[in-house]
A = this chain, B = another copy of it.
Amino acid sequence: MPENTPELKPRLHGEMLSTSLLAFLKGWNAYGYQLAQKLAAAGLPESDSGTVYRTLRQLEKAGMVSSFWDTSESGPARRMYSLTRAGELFLSGWIDVLQNYQKILHNALESLVPPEGESADTEDAAS
């Protein structure tokens, strides 16, 4: 029992951030600032805007998205991103991973039968 409550402030990052960005780019283009706002409005854990920009650059380096400077509108130039074929493929592959993952979480919460043959070592955990 930690007395100095660690005050966990969750942030969206890693593969969940990457794939959320790819998802937002499916079907239309967008730029970083816009994507950051969508994330903030999406009901997901917050994400740092610096991290969003860096993640987009990484996705570009990995070939998942491509970008160009858009100076057609007034205001600061925007780096417009679009999803590549590789990005689409990665995204749909990721959804399969997700399906598995979510299945695991739900099995754990709903069915309370030990997974396989060897009986649970200590079954006193089910309070």
Contacts and interface: CB of A to CB of B under 8 A. Distances in A.
Interface residues of A, number: 59
A109 B23 contact: yes
Q: How many copies does the complex hold?
A: 2
A62 B109 contact: no
A2 B61 contact: yes
B42 A100 contact: yes
Given A15-B16, A70-B121, A121-B80, A100 B27 contact: no
Interface of A: 1-2, 6, 8, 10, 13-16, 19-20, 22-31, 34, 38, 42-45, 61-63, 70, 80, 82-83, 91-92, 94-95, 97-98, 100-102, 104-109, 112, 114-115, 120-126
